[in-house]
Structure 1
Amino acid sequence: MNAALAFSLLILFSLAVPIGVSLVLASAFGVQFFSSVPLLLVAQRVFTSLDSFPLLAVPLFILSGNLMAAGGISERLVDLAKSMVGGIQGGLACTCVITCMIFASVSGSSVATTFAIGVILIPAMVKHGYPVGTAAAIQASSAELGVLIPPSIPLILYGVSTETSIGQLFLAGVGPGILVAAALFVYLLVLCRIKGYGKDDGRESQPFLKALVRSFWALLMPFVVLGGIYGGVFTPTEASAIAVVYALFVGLFVYRALTFASIHAAFRQSVISSTVIMIIIAGAGLFSFLVTRSGLPSIIAEWVQQVFTNKVAFLFAVNIFLFLVGMFIETSAAILVLAPLLTPIAIAYGVDPVHFGLIIVVNLALGMFTPPVGVNLFAACAVANISIQRIIPALVPMVAVVMGCVLLVTYVPFISLGLVEWLYR
């Protein structure tokens, strides 16, 4: 049956059928013609895959991110970051990294971060003399922080699919997120000094205290959401609902930027995005059940342990595999299909499941801004109104920088587990 599942998936992918629909159709085909179980199992497993309380956090964090983007929060965060680093050469590029890191801590989505910050900073960088391809590449790579800094939707999906603590995963994402942000920050400073970009980036910057006051309510949100989780006040799922209420309150009564039309648009976009993810979750849950039932994970585990005799070689192979997967498969689908297969093997090699979750997510986050299926690339190009070909030359060094961070996260577990071990163990 595994061969039938793989073959039908390849055919559906080649016909450009959406990933979630492909997973369901391929699974139904395998059940109908190559399995003894009744076809009713398809509907049952699809329902069971979605019948999870922690999954409620996914649509709610998506909604909170869209409400924040419409409610003026992103604009104030940009002003704050510009007041901090805008006065140095390349400060506007570094502003993009800092703003994405802060916005990621309240949105949980790299695509939402790309659109919310990119519509402000890509035109600003172009106005200050950055080539449009470079500006779009900076935005696409910086928005990757949206899936590393908690709350992170991919980390929620990994936690649900492997039964790993989401709270610990959120905490483990802080170190890799800061590492990637710092690496991009240093690279962009060097790039701007060599190329001569951003010599007048200090123009139009606000005084720091004024920008801090204007962004106070925006900055308070991560402390409310994450502080509540780690303080034991509410669970990550409940925190997602708190984030929605907070975003509505700030947008309506503090910044007064939300209107009925913008709220309607935010809800509409959130429904569309959530539906796509939920269809993928349902299909991946069904597909993973059939693969697990066939015994393939045990076969793969035995083969891997025979080929890779130590943990170092295994993790290196996983990095290469996930990098290639991330280039072609959407992040949510890749996590939901591969995490249940790879995590038990990693545990057998002595890798902590929380650490392995960050290895998977950081690798797949890299795929978000690499061709041909990098969603951040398409979002940044849409904002900049350019083709992908114009962004590639500036993007290659940034991919190399993040790949270096991936290796550090992989082989230095303390980057991910330092805070977790301090607070939980």
Structure 2
Amino acid sequence: MSELIAGTSADADGAFKGAVLHDTRRSPLWLKPLEAVSALLMLNITVLLLVGVISRYLFNQSLVWSDEVVSISFIWLTMLGAAIAVHRNEHLRLGLFVDLLPPRLREFVHAFALVAIAAVLLALVGPAIDYARDEWFIHTPALDLPNTFRVSSIAFGFIAMLALIVQYAGRSARKLDLALAVLLVAAVAGLCWHFSPQLMKLGTANIGLVLIGFAAVCLVAGVPIAFCFGIGAVCYLAFTTHVPLTVVIGRMDEGMSSLVLVSVPIFVLLGCILDATGMGKAIVDFLGSLLGHVKAGMSYVLLGSLFIVSGISGSKVSDMATVAPALFPEMKRRGHKPREMVALLATGAAMADTVPPSIVLIVLGAVAGVSIAGLFQAGFVIAMVLLAVLLVLARWKARHEDMSHTQRAPMQMVGRFLLIAAPALVLPFLIRAAVGEGVATATEVSTVAVVYALFVGQVMYGGIGLRKFYDMLVETAALSGVVLLVLGSASAMAWSITQSGVVQHLSGFMTTLPGGWVGFMAVTILVFVALGCLLEGLPAVLLLAPIMFPIAHKLGINDVHYAMVIVCAMNIGLMMPPIGVGFYIACRIGDAPPDEVIGAIWPYLIALLVGVLIIAAVPGITTLAL
């Protein structure tokens, strides 16, 4: 999920920028209580899940009511976090095309993006209130509470985001630009409304004309991806069907409410703890002492560290931010070129994205109905295949490396580093074993991992202060809101595409491709590499998974095998210049100009692509681990 932290990619050369809303100098006073509430909700979810695990495994009693409290807390955390993320500049948007515009035109496009966001939120506030009112008659089984207490969070979140946007627009955009943008949006909406009877007769053509067209225009204009998906779904349903917009709210609710997804904020919190305590650095130091003296040794350490650390944090940005500062100075001292180091960092992070706990795998499993335990089991093996191809390339590139001035670390030093790193090294294997053996679900093991990391960090790695921990809880809420709002809006857009009937046509075309399942796999890799560049990885998966998995199933492709292929292909696109957001994040973390890194990264991307082709062509690599 690391690729979703848009604020880290906001340099001038980035393809993706943070949301158009950013003014931390003028934080609204009313946002402070929302941050405090979100921190309490995050703490409440973690404690309740842990209590539930303890009660079930030690006392053989299930706390039925706890799941309902967690569900209510979770959706409120999501919507409050999404509002906080709007203010903190952490919603993803595509800034590549906006940055190419002349300054004066860019200002108007900025105003248009703000108005478009405000328009879709305004269109959804009423249906969200109606949806909450309708849910009053549905009661939770254990607590007997009206479901309105849970789903009213959606309307509240929309109103909070709308207030932030209006407030920011008044300060950041010219009044003339705002007026023209309002007129443009109103004119387009008015024309679509006027011609809606004709649009309804177009059938599946509406998908390209209204749903994808509007979403694509807004994406190019810099509207955050979550809102682009919402705009596409709202325009399609409002102008080409008689379906009420409460359906959009219902699909968003369903997309964001699965208890499996509760592990997303828990693993985000785990990544924050990893960074704050220095557990990741301990692993890097140990691997450096063990392998640093061999040819290509530091490249091995870099890739091995990413592999292991990813198994703790589940976050690519966290992985890269942990490993790069610890290794790059020594690698530079040994003569490694910055462009090669950043290229290896970026592709190594892409390689490690299937190592459990992977937030992408958790979300994909929830959306596509694939076993998360199976994804975790296979993900470890798949990452090893990609690790192997990168290790071979790194060794070949280091064939002329001068090791004459490098000494092997004394075994006493290696042992000391191992002793320090041991508690951190245990954690990824603990997570994988617990989920793979069925001892705990992904959600439960994430809570246990957080408590373990907090305890070990406090005892062995310096601990975390209360203020720092509070900031981590708020940051977790914001990042989780980003992930889950994209998930909710993508669910609404994917449902709209499905209802249009285009999926049936696509299924018929895909199942008749030359080469059968092999041809379908080839097309899948191309599609997800391209969408990994354009949409960022997770939104691409969320949008297409409900469409592509049924086709794969018809062709007899194992669900876990197919999931591994699309996640790996997506990650290649994520790191592929000149658009892939992960590429620019790696450049920023590694402090290297993107123009220099572009030439160095292609051999590593080709190596990853070879690995993906092997994984796709040999299903046994995936299914062997199941």
* Short-chain TM bin: over 0.9
Relative distance call for 1:108 and 1:39 in structure 2 (3 A) is: same
Distance 2:528 2:272 in 1: 29
- 1:187-206 to structure 2, matched below 5 A, reads 187-194=393-400, 196=401, 200=405, 202=407
Q: Which moved more, 1:304-313 or 1:288-297?
A: 304-313
Asked if 1:36 is matched to 2:242, the reply is yes
Question: 1:371 maps to what in 2?
Answer: 577
Asked if 1:330 is matched to 2:536, the reply is yes
TM-score, structure 1 normalization? 0.94
TM-score, structure 2 normalization? 0.65
Contact residue 167 and residue 229 of structure 1 kept, 8 A:
yes
- 1:1-400 to structure 2, matched below 5 A, reads 1-3=206-208, 4-194=210-400, 196=401, 200=405, 202=407, 207-400=413-606
Which of the pair has more CA radius of gyration? 2
Question: 1:423 maps to what in 2?
Answer: none
- Counterpart amino acid of residue 2 in structure 1: I
Question: 1:413 maps to what in 2?
Answer: 619
Give CA-to-partner distance per residue, 1:40-70, whole Å, 9 cap, x none.
Answer: 2222221121110001111111110121121
Contact residue 90 and residue 201 of structure 1 kept, 8 A:
no
Give CA-to-partner distance per residue, 1:342-393, whole Å, 9 cap, x none.
Answer: 1111111110011000011111111221123433322221122222111112
Distance 2:286 2:266 in 1: 26
Contact residue 45 and residue 285 of structure 1 kept, 8 A:
yes
Distance 2:390 2:457 in 1: 31
- Once the 2 structures are TM-superposed, how far is the Cα of residue 261 of structure 1 from its aligned partner? 4.5
Distance 1:211 1:138 in 2: 24
Question: Which runs of no fewer than 5 residues in structure 2 stay unpaired?
Answer: 1-205
Contact residue 107 and residue 146 of structure 1 kept, 8 A:
no
Question: Quick one: percent identity of the two aligned structures?
Answer: 27
Distance 1:120 1:266 in 2: 22
Distance 1:310 1:145 in 2: 28
The ranges of structure 1 where at least 4 consecutive aligned residues each deviate by more than 6 angstroms after the TM superposition are 203-206
- Counterpart amino acid of residue 258 in structure 1: I
- Counterpart amino acid of residue 24 in structure 1: G
- Once the 2 structures are TM-superposed, how far is the Cα of residue 413 of structure 1 from its aligned partner? 0.9
Contact residue 91 and residue 198 of structure 1 kept, 8 A:
no
Relative distance call for 1:176 and 1:197 in structure 2 (3 A) is: farther
- Once the 2 structures are TM-superposed, how far is the Cα of residue 268 of structure 1 from its aligned partner? 3.6
- Counterpart amino acid of residue 355 in structure 2: I
Question: How many residue pairs are counted as aligned between the two chains?
Answer: 419
- Once the 2 structures are TM-superposed, how far is the Cα of residue 264 of structure 1 from its aligned partner? 3.7
Relative distance call for 1:367 and 1:264 in structure 2 (3 A) is: farther
Contact residue 118 and residue 380 of structure 1 kept, 8 A:
no
- Once the 2 structures are TM-superposed, how far is the Cα of residue 315 of structure 1 from its aligned partner? 1.2
Question: 2:148 maps to what in 1?
Answer: none
SS at match of 1:193: coil
- Counterpart amino acid of residue 427 in structure 2: M
- Counterpart amino acid of residue 394 in structure 1: A
Q: Which moved more, 1:37-46 or 1:337-346?
A: 37-46
Contact residue 70 and residue 266 of structure 1 kept, 8 A:
no
Give CA-to-partner distance per residue, 1:95-121, whole Å, 9 cap, x none.
Answer: 000011011111112222111112222
Question: Which runs of no fewer than 5 residues in structure 1 stay unpaired?
Answer: 421-425
Contact residue 310 and residue 316 of structure 2 kept, 8 A:
yes
- Once the 2 structures are TM-superposed, how far is the Cα of residue 339 of structure 1 from its aligned partner? 1.1
SS at match of 1:319: helix
Give CA-to-partner distance per residue, 1:311-336, whole Å, 9 cap, x none.
Answer: 11221121122212212121110111
Distance 1:108 1:64 in 2: 8
- Counterpart amino acid of residue 120 in structure 1: A
- Counterpart amino acid of residue 346 in structure 1: A
Distance 2:614 2:459 in 1: 44
Distance 2:488 2:333 in 1: 44
Distance 1:323 1:367 in 2: 4
Distance 1:35 1:243 in 2: 47
